Copies of this chain bind each other. A is one copy, B any other.
Amino acid sequence: MNAARLTLDPNRAFPADPGTREIAVRIYEHVKDLPIISMHGHVEAQAFAENTPFPDPAQLLIVPDHYVFRMLASQGVNLDDLGVPRQDGGAVETDSRAIWKRFCENWKLYRGTPSRFWIEHELVEVFGVDLVPSAETADAIYDQIASVIAEEDFTPQGLLDRFDIEIISTTDPASSDLEFHRQIREQGLGHRVVPTFRPDAALTLTGPTFKAEVEAIGKLSGEDVSTYEGYLAALRHRRRAFIEAGARATDHGHLLPNTQPLPDEEAAALYGRAVAGEEISAEEGAAFEAHMLFQMAKMSTEDGLVMQIHPGVRRDHSTEILETYGKDKGYDIPIGVDYTRGVQPMLDAFGRNPNFHCILFTIDETVYSRELAPIAGTYPAVRLGAPWWFIDSPDGMRRFRELATETAGFYNTSGFVDDTRAFASIPARHDLARRIDAGYLANLVAEGRLTEEEAIETAVDLTSTLPKASYPPIAH
């Protein structure tokens, strides 16, 4: 394997059966070059506003990508040695070439994973690398990537063109002053880079930053957040500010998809105790989050922001990792969720309201056929989001289509929605999704369940029409 050539199979991720594959190839031809619609992600607004070049291969591809470093960690590599910053500011590896080599010499760990698929695509298509990663090839690959990174237009803004990204959304806390987005608009990119309103920290009474967050939104909105009414007004105000900055959606990542509203006075009392610094129990905190999800849905019917719900993840499973390296370090583990009963109050109230639109995501695959597809297949307000996080993978995406389509059809889904901090992986992720959808559709054609003409139209809809329709612009 020494210095084996790295190439991309043009038929990668298509079905193995030759007849089905031929159909998939023909379908894929119609979508492979369509622009990217990327309405949910974690590239920072600051990166676009300041348009700073990326420092080096490790800082671009390893350090910010928990998919990548968690796999190395799982085999005992220390996060310090991968350059992941410590909360205490303590020393971590700063030699990016050493970090890169640690990754390359463990290349075999990624066999069978989507990270492997994405990185191969990036290496070949984005960076022109033609070597298989290994301890021996690490330096040569590093140099090749570094040379591309050094190109003048290899910047966040430049990549919008390179990657043919029609529109991309950042994710921003409710307390963001949206200054970077203002700068982005000033640079004429307001139609291509938009914010998403993510108020989790302001809705989680038991969270470590709750008080700071509500104070910040109080200040930005000029509302008196010492009262529950002022708090709601401040949230409405921030939503409006986000809409004016181009936002089309909100995003909610609570543990549970529960939406049972509390009586107003009960909610107000809980809120009051929380801002007064009183102890809030876990049950009370969860009840308030459910109440506020309901309020967010209600506000969506008023202002038109599409509501995205990403539940079911037990964050920071390892206390040690949280304390040492902070959040989003690969130790977030999914749990089972009850969507049917969780979203019932919200959908009972707003699910047939033509001004309400929500997109439901899951990592718990058991709810696809049992709960989400039946819900999306009847409530006009609901679309199913794409397979999320760990299941944004070849087989994960196939299972989603297989488990959801028969009950929800294609037209109650959002089309592909990526979700990444790794900017350079965006084209690879969209390409993979297009291949998987083409393969799924090809199989329907091969089984006489769809005509090829319909399959092609559906593939285009999944790639372009549905993502755009799922996140419509809001007049302001």
Contact = CB atoms under 8 A, between A and B. Distances in A.
A302 to B, nearest CB: 19
Contacts of A447: 11-16, 394
Contacts of A444: 111-112
Nearest to A401: B112
B340 A334 contact: yes
Interface string A404-417: 01111111100000
A463 B344 CA distance: 39
Nearest to A407: B390
A99 interface: no
A396 B390 contact: no
A366 interface: yes
A331 B379 CA distance: 8
B363 A370 contact: yes
A375 interface: yes
A401 B109 CA distance: 15
A246 interface: no
A412 B74 CA distance: 7
A88 to B, nearest CB: 17
A20 B16 contact: yes
Interface stretch (A155-163, A216-224, A317-325): A317-325
A371 interface: yes
Interface stretch (A145-153, A270-278, A285-293, A347-355): A347-355
Interface in A152-193: none
A54 to B, nearest CB: 25
Contact of A371 (B8, B335, B348): B335
B74 A108 contact: no
Nearest to A439: B447
Given A113-B407, A340-B333, A449-B117, A73 B378 contact: yes
A12 B394 contact: no
Contacts of A365: 366, 369-370
A1 interface: yes
A450 interface: yes
Interface residues of A, number: 96
Given A73-B380, A75-B411, A412-B74, A450 B111 contact: yes
A33 interface: no
B377 A71 contact: yes
Given A74-B378, A74-B412, A111 B11 contact: no
A271 B381 CA distance: 41
A369 B390 contact: yes
Contacts of A409: 71, 74, 109-113
B16 A19 contact: yes
Nearest to A362: B370
B406 A347 contact: no
A143 interface: no
Interface string A14-39: 11111110000000000000000000
A376 interface: yes
A265 interface: no
A172 to B, nearest CB: 26
A76 interface: yes
B13 A449 contact: yes
A113 B406 contact: yes
A366 B375 CA distance: 18
Given A70-B378, A109-B409, A446 B340 contact: no
A95 interface: no
A394 B446 CA distance: 13
A448 interface: yes
Per CB-CB distance, the 8 closest pairs between chain A and chain B, nearest first, are: A9-B448, A12-B448, A16-B446, A112-B405, A393-B406, A76-B380, A70-B378, A390-B407
12 contacts: A11-B447, A11-B448, A14-B448, A73-B378, A76-B354, A111-B458, A114-B406, A318-B347, A321-B352, A333-B371, A334-B374, A363-B369
Given A1-B454, A111-B410, A320-B352, 14 more contacts: A14-B447, A16-B17, A70-B377, A71-B409, A73-B380, A74-B379, A76-B380, A111-B450, A112-B406, A113-B405, A334-B340, A335-B340, A365-B370, A394-B406
